[in-house]
Structure 1
C-alpha cells in the first residue's frame, strides 16, 4: 500500500513516514498543499494523510479539489485545531476521517488501517484473501498455511499483498513498484524479482508464477 503524507511540520512528517515505512507501507512526503494536490492527482495512492494548515493551499481546499476531480482516495485529515466546526468542515469537504494533534501514533495507524479496510469492503474486497493454500490477512498483515504462520518482513508482505488483492490477475513489475516503493526510490527495478524470489522460498516455489513479459500472479493451486 502506498501512502502520501502532506504535512508542513517536517519533523512530524518524517517521523510518521519512518514509522509507517516500518509498518510495511510505501510512503511519500510533501510539505505544501499545492504539491500535495499535484502528487495525489498524479500518483496511485491508497490513502492520503492531509494536514489542514498548509502553505500554498490549505487542507480543506486540497481535499475539496481532489473530490471535485473525482478522486476518491481515502483522506485522513490532521489539524492542530480542535472543535466540532473544524471537524464538520473537514468532513464536509470530503475527508473520510479526522485526527486532532497531538495524537497517538498507535491511534493514527489504527485509523489508517480502518480506512483501508473500509475502502476494500466498499469495493467488495475482503481483508482476508485465501489463495494457493494461504490465508493472507491484509488487515493484520499476517500469513498462514493451515495452522502455521509464515513470518514475512514488512516489505515481503507488501509485495505479496499486491498479488493477493488481485489474485488471478497478472500484476506488472511497475505496478508493484508503484505501490510498494515510494516516489523517491530510484534503485534497480529488479528489486521486485529479489522479493518474489524470497516469497517463493518462504511460501513455495510454485506460489508466485512469472508471466513472461507481463509480470506475476499468485497460483490458484496450493504449493
Structure 2
C-alpha cells in the first residue's frame, strides 16, 4: 500500500489530512515536528511526503534538505500559508516536487499527489525495450529487429548491443565495454570485445538494407552504432 507521511504542526489540519488520505486508500503516517518527521521517514520509508514549512523545532525546509541529502527519492509536496513567489522558488530549489498554498482544496492535493506518484513510478519502471533509429531490442526475449529483419541474441550479445544503442552515434572504447561486461571474469582479455562485435555484425548483417544502423569501428576510439544519416563527427 502507498504510504504518505504528513508533516504538519497543526493537529486539526494533520488529522483532517490523515483521515482524508486514508479514505482515498493511502496508508498514512504523521509527524508534528522536524525530529519526528526525520525519524518517521527513516523507520517506515514513505512513498511521498506532504510537508508544512513552519514547524515548532525548525522548518520544513530542514526536513526536505535532510531527506534529499539522504537520498530519499519520493515526491515531496510543500503545504504552506507562505504564498510569495520567493517562498515557492526556495522550496522547489531544495528538491520539492510541488508547492501548494493554504488554504487549499483537498481534492486538488490528492490529484497532485497521485500525479507525482505516477510520474515517479513511471520513471523508475525498468525498461523492457530499447530503440535506436529503426533498431529495436527486446530486453526480455533478446530479440533484435529492424523492419522485417530480426535476430535472436545471446545474453552477452544483448548486453553489448544495449550498451551500444544507449550510446548511439558515440564511440564506446574497448576498455569501457570490457570493464562493464567482462572485467569481473578472470582470464579474459580485451580481444573478447572484438569477438562479440563480430558476432553482432554477423547477426545484424541483414539490417542495413532495411535502413538499420551500422556497427562501425572508429579508429582509435572504439566501436559505434551509427544511425543512418546521423554520422558521428570527430
TM-score, L = length of structure 1: 0.55
Runs of 4+ in 1 over 6 A off after TM superposition: none
SS at match of 1:41: helix
> 1:125 offset after TM fit, Å?
6.7
Larger Rg: 2
In structure 2, C-alpha distance between the alignment counterparts of 1:76 and 1:102, rounded to whole Å = 15
SS at match of 1:35: helix
User: 1:48–1:76: 8 Å Cα contact kept in structure 2?
Assistant: yes
> 1:121 offset after TM fit, Å?
1.0
Establish whether residue 113 from structure 1 lines up as the match of residue 114 from structure 2.
Answer: yes
User: 1:41–1:66: 8 Å Cα contact kept in structure 2?
Assistant: no
> 1:73 offset after TM fit, Å?
1.9
In structure 2, C-alpha distance between the alignment counterparts of 1:78 and 1:46, rounded to whole Å = 17
In structure 1, C-alpha distance between the alignment counterparts of 2:100 and 2:27, rounded to whole Å = 21
In structure 1, C-alpha distance between the alignment counterparts of 2:73 and 2:44, rounded to whole Å = 13
Q: Relative contact order, CA 8 A, sep 6+: which one is greater? A: 1
The alignment's C-alpha RMSD in Å is: 1.4
Aligned residues, how many?
Answer: 126
In structure 2, C-alpha distance between the alignment counterparts of 1:77 and 1:125, rounded to whole Å = 29
Corresponding residue number in structure 2 for 1:130: none
SS at match of 1:27: strand
Corresponding residue number in structure 2 for 1:99: 100
User: 2:29–2:40: 8 Å Cα contact kept in structure 1?
Assistant: no
Corresponding residue number in structure 2 for 1:82: 83
The gaps in structure 2 that reach 5 residues or longer are 128-234
> 1:55 offset after TM fit, Å?
1.3
In structure 2, C-alpha distance between the alignment counterparts of 1:55 and 1:11, rounded to whole Å = 15
Corresponding residue number in structure 2 for 1:14: 15
User: 2:4–2:26: 8 Å Cα contact kept in structure 1?
Assistant: yes
